[in-house]
Each structure stands twice: as C-alpha cells, then as structure tokens.
Amino acid sequence: MTETRIDRRFAALKREGRAGLVTFVTGGDPDYETSLELLKGLPGAGADVIELGMPFSDPMADGPAIQAASQRALKGGQDMHKTLAMVRAFREDDEDTPIVLMGYYNPIFVFGVDTFLKEAVAAGVDGLIVVDVPPEEDEELCLPAMQAGLNFIRLATPTTDERRLPKVLANTSGFVYYVSIAGITGTGAPDAAKVQAHIGRIKAKTDLPVAVGFGIKTPEQAKALSEGAEAVVVGSALVKTIEENLDENGRAAAGTRDQVLKLVGSLSAALRQPEKAVAI
C-alpha cells in the first residue's frame, strides 16, 4: 500500500513525541447538520484522527451510549449515502485529518462492497474498522479495501491470545486498536498496568502504532493509558455528552457541539502535557 493520511499522522505524532487523540462520533447524531458541524470542529479542538460511526440498528459490540446514538441517527434519516456525504463535506476544508469509518458489515453489504469502497475512497475516507468481519473472512472486505487504498484496522482484545494475535495482525494496516476492557463500549474502567502489559505483547509482534480504546472517559484516564501507546480512543464519553446536551424533544441544544468540543479539548490537552520533571 502507498502511504496514507493515517500513516502520515502517526509519523507526525512520533516526531512530536506524544500520543494522539482518536475521537469517535456517530454520523448523523443527533441530526445531520449538528453532526457535520461537530465533525468539522473536531480537528481544531485537538482530535488527531476521527472515527466516524456508520449507524446500524444492531450494534452488538457497543454499549448503551453508542447504541442510542445509532438509533438517534437512524431516526433522523442517516444512511450510508449521508455518511459519505459528510466525509466529502469535511474534506472541503480539511485535507489532512484522517477519517476512519467504523461500524458493522451489514450496511456495507447492503450498499454493495465494490460501490462502497469506490465511493469511500472518492469521498476521502482513509480507513475502516468493521468489528464483525473476522480475519478468516478477509477476502470479503479487508483485502478489497486494502487494494482500494484504505487501511483496514483490526481490534485486539484482552482475550486475543498468542495463537490468535498473528491472524489479527496479518492484514492490519494503519494502526492496531487495542480494546482495553473485555465487554462492550463505554462500560467498566481499564487498568493502566494491565493495558501496558498487553500493549507490550502486541508490539512484540508488529511495528504498527497501537491505539487504546474502550472505557476512557476523562483526561486523567487518557493520559495514564497513553503510556506505551501511540494513541488513545474516546467515543462513548463524547456520544454521552451529545445525549446530555439535547433538549426535551431530543434535538440538539444551542451548546451541544461546544460541550463536546470542550471535552475533546481537555482530553487533547492532557495528552500534550509534558511529563513533570522528577527531582533527584
């Protein structure tokens, strides 16, 4: 594969000597216009890579917050055409920030794999995370995506053992997404020491950057879990902030976008802080 925006962004982070912030929001949540405004505001608030969720009616790996976000988006009429349109609109002003579409295979299958890949590349998508397509099915989506020039990003979990890990890594590119807790998104709190041990195990098998996600809600957690990783991923906390800033009719309030970007800013600031010098 030729160098992608994701490759360039992680190379830049390495030069800066810091971990990056990967932010997740669901396309079309709570409505198309607000979601697009939020998407466009994320880089300025400190997001280094953006994961844009493809809404799906049965997101089995996601917790209540992201499930609710998918339902709000679908209720508002979001579909794959609109999600790709959001990426095209984003690219009118930003040619550098990587965008990864994240979700499930069903909406891609219904859209048509070949058509989806062609339109995703044309829109300016850089990578895919499709959580329910295992390595055994790489010919279905992973290999065609890579041939189209997209990074295909795999998830490794606390239960990915030494036998399974090479299969997970075989056709992965861009970065490895390490799921810091066993279970669904937005539940539980990760143990930093255990996470660092698992990251070390992954790094022994690959030179790819590792991004840590699931359960990260605060700047303090982001900073702690960034040790040994190239990035941290925050999703449920952002989606929950959207939900908490809707009016009584479930519509975006005046400050919805700003409250989400405020949280992104605090997470980014924590990752950009230099380590405190230790007196000897």
Q: Are 220 and 252 in contact (CB under 8 A)?
A: no
pLDDT tens sequence across 242-265: 999 999 888 999 899 999 999 999
Instruction: Give me the CATH number covering residue 257.
Output: 3.20.20.70
For residue 156, the cross-strand partners are 178
Q: How far apart, in whole angstroms, are the C-alpha atoms of residue 50 and residue 43?
A: 8
User: How many whole angstroms from its chain centre is CA 252?
Assistant: 22
Is residue 194 pLDDT above 90, yes or no?
no
Is residue 37 pLDDT above 50, yes or no?
yes
Is residue 215 pLDDT above 80, yes or no?
yes
In a domain, 82, yes or no: yes
Residue 6, amino acid: I
Query: Between the CA atoms of 134, 136, 142 and 143, what dihedral angle is there, to the nearest 10 degrees?
Result: 170
What pLDDT is stored for residue 186 in this prediction? 46
In a domain, 258, yes or no: yes
Is residue 144 pLDDT above 80, yes or no?
yes
In a domain, 171, yes or no: yes
In a domain, 279, yes or no: no
E runs forming strands in the chain: 20-26, 49-53, 99-103, 127-130, 151-152, 155-156, 176-179, 210-213, 231-234
pLDDT tens sequence across 57-88: 887 777 788 999 999 999 999 999 999 999 99
When divided into structural domains, the chain yields a total of 1
Is residue 279 pLDDT above 70, yes or no?
no
Whole-number percent of the chain with pLDDT over 90: 80
Range of the domain at 189: 5-272
Question: What's the whole-number mean pLDDT along residues 110-117?
Answer: 97
What pLDDT is stored for residue 254 in this prediction? 87
In a domain, 204, yes or no: yes
In a domain, 31, yes or no: yes
In a domain, 280, yes or no: no
Tell me whether residue 223 is exposed, middle or buried, using C-beta atoms within 10 angstroms of its C-beta: 0 to 12, 13 to 18, 19 or more.
Answer: buried
| Contacts of 203 by beta carbon, 8 Å cutoff, 6+ apart | 210, 228
Q: How far apart, in whole angstroms, are the C-alpha atoms of residue 129 and residue 151?
A: 9
Q: How far apart, in whole angstroms, are the C-alpha atoms of residue 199 and residue 214?
A: 14
Strand order in the sheet with 99-103: 151-152, 127-130, 99-103, 49-53, 20-26, 231-234, 210-213, 176-179, 155-156
Q: Are 195 and 180 in contact (CB under 8 A)?
A: yes
Q: Indicate the pLDDT class of residue 280, thresholds 50, 70 and 90.
A: very low
Lowest mean pLDDT among 161-165, 205-209, 231-235: 161-165
Against a cut of 0.85, is the pTM above it? Answer: yes
In a domain, 277, yes or no: no
Which amino acids are annotated catalytic?
51, 62
